[in-house]
């Protein structure tokens, strides 16, 4: 108030001086620039699920620092999780203390809490709260396809209310992870927001998965969901996918069989060679885009060696392209699915119960999403950052590196790649995230 009064007095004084100097005494106009609102910098956690091949807190801390993350989201899950939920009271405190001794932050844990009645729920929350941890991973509810959707959402409200009350008791915020799988509550955001909006976002909110939301809300339509959720976006998890055509087709000339054979699950496999899809003249699931001139690749020999194991799949370890040597982690450009000598990780369309198809019309849809390193898929990281800035997001952020990475991607307790390669891949994800968020000033 004193500053404003002084400014007003100075304006009046200037007006009088101008008048005395023969200038028009214009009304004093106060012009004060609006204060710049400082952007709160976000900090990115390493997700300890990808570090479960490191068993001690010191090892996890050293790897996290090496990758340049600032904190750790600790898995409080049964082995190979880092802390057993049944022993949380005794095992979590020393684990967290050691991480913090290395200068790392621990504000979040991932634990198996679905609602307030989940096993060890109160013990987990009480212990975490006593350590100054404020957030935890929560979920996931699933729909019953035989019941009305809105009826099921209404039935969740008492369960969420009870959990919110427990969170309030321990000053914890539950973050409900968003997915993109059919039948999962919350993958559309709007459905579970209908439930959450009845409760305080300080205690129940979304754990916004960037990769899943991009798959679910393609072409940027997830933006409206994030804006609508606003204060209920309590945490962010970043991963990335691409869409790929998991289509296994025969090739090498016109099909001469019968329509019954074309629609048969055994189509493309020669007699006496179950589990070897794609055999026949010029065949090989690896044919098509990315394949060599002779679809099927080295080793297929298009029918002549059809009885040999893996021959029809383009030779052993031909990777995704199927038209040449194996490509690392599947490789680009083909229609196969990267399993050594096979058409897909599940052993070809026959093993999946699918028939040849070029679309979803009456047949299993051949399109699928596949996890890839950040920057190689369909995420729009600058748009994610600008939208988070718009809704004034300030919660924890973590990266989920779920592409093939020596077993680290799926929580294994041992890795099959050198340590430097595994950590290097995750560090590259962090650098990519920082580049994508650079214009926003959030990182």
Q: Are residues 308 and 200 in the same domain?
A: no
Q: Are residues 103 and 56 in the same domain?
A: yes
Q: Are residues 291 and 341 in the same domain?
A: yes
Residue 402 in domain:
yes
Q: Using a CB cutoff of 8 Å and minimum separation of 24, what contacts does 420-429 make? A: 422/53, 423/63, 423/66, 423/67, 425/373, 425/401, 426/46, 426/50, 426/67, 426/399, 426/401, 427/66, 427/67, 427/68, 428/373, 428/374, 429/238, 429/373, 429/374, 429/399, 429/401
Residue 393 in domain:
yes
Q: Are residues 93 and 217 in the same domain?
A: yes
Residue 276 in domain:
no
Q: Are residues 395 and 329 in the same domain?
A: no
Q: Are residues 133 and 184 in the same domain?
A: yes
Residue 4 in domain:
no
Q: Are residues 334 and 380 in the same domain?
A: no
Last residue in a domain, options 336, 365, 394: 365
Q: Are residues 333 and 316 in the same domain?
A: yes
Q: Are residues 147 and 292 in the same domain?
A: no
Last residue in a domain, options 326, 346, 365: 365
pTM: 0.70
User: How far is it, in rounded angstroms, from Cα 381 to Cα 210?
Assistant: 9
Provide the CATH number for the domain around residue 137.
3.20.20.150
Number of domains in the chain: 2
CA-CA distances (angstroms) from residue 291 to 309, 318, 327, 332, 400?
20, 10, 12, 10, 31
Residue 259 in domain:
no
Last residue in a domain, options 345, 365, 385: 365
CA distance between the termini of the chain: 36
**For position 5, what pLDDT does the model report?**
44
Residue 168 in domain:
yes
Look up the domain containing 324 and give its range: 285-365
Residue 84 in domain:
yes
Q: Are residues 64 and 167 in the same domain?
A: yes
Q: Are residues 71 and 138 in the same domain?
A: yes
Cβ neighbours of residue 185 closer than 8 Å, sequence gap 6 or more: 140, 141, 142, 143, 152, 153, 156, 191, 192
Q: Are residues 83 and 152 in the same domain?
A: yes
Residues of the chain with pLDDT under 50: 1-31, 33-34, 265-357
């Amino acid at each position: 108030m004193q500053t404003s009064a002084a400014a007003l007095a100075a304006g009046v004084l200037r007006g009088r001086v101008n008048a005395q100097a023969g200038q028009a005494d214009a009304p004093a106009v106060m012009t004060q620039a609006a204060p710049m609102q400082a952007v709160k910098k976000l900090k990115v956690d390493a997700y300890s699920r990808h570090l479960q091949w490191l068993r001690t807190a010191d090892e996890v801390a050293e790897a996290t620092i090496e990758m340049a993350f600032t904190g750790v989201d600790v898995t409080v899950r049964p082995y190979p999780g880092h802390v057993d939920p049944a022993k949380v009271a005794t095992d979590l405190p020393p684990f967290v203390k050691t991480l913090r001794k290395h200068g790392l932050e621990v504000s979040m844990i991932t634990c198996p809490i679905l609602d307030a009645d989940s096993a060890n729920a109160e013990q987990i929350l009480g212990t975490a709260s006593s350590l100054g941890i404020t957030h935890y991973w929560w979920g996931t509810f699933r729909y019953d396809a035989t019941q009305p959707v809105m009826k099921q959402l209404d039935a969740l409200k008492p369960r969420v209310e009870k959990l919110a009350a427990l969170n309030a008791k321990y000053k914890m915020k539950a973050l409900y992870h968003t997915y993109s799988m059919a039948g999962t509550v919350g993958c559309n955001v709007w459905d579970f927001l209908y439930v959450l909006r009845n409760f305080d976002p300080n205690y129940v909110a979304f754990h916004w998965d960037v990769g899943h939301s991009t798959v679910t809300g393609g072409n940027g339509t997830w933006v409206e969901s994030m804006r609508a959720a606003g204060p209920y976006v309590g945490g962010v998890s970043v991963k990335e996918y691409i869409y790929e055509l998991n289509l296994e087709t025969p090739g090498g000339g016109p099909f001469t069989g019968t329509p019954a054979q074309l629609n048969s699950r055994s189509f493309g496999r020669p007699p006496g060679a179950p589990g070897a899809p794609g055999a026949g003249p010029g065949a090989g699931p690896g044919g098509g885009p990315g394949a060599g001139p002779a679809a099927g690749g080295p080793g297929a020999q298009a029918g002549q060696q059809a009885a040999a194991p893996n021959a029809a799949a383009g030779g052993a370890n031909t990777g995704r392209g199927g038209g040449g040597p194996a490509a690392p982690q599947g490789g680009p450009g083909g229609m196969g699915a990267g399993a050594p000598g096979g058409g897909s990780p599940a052993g070809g369309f026959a093993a999946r119960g699918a028939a040849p198809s070029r679309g979803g019309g009456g047949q299993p849809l051949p399109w699928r999403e596949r996890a890839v390193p950040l920057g190689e898929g369909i995420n729009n990281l600058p748009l994610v950052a600008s939208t988070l800035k718009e809704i004034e997001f300030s919660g924890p952020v973590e990266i989920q590196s779920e592409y093939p990475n020596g077993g680290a991607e799926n929580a294994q307790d041992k890795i099959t790649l050198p340590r430097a390669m595994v950590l290097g891949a995750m560090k590259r994800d962090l650098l990519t995230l920082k580049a994508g968020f650079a214009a926003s000033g959030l990182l």
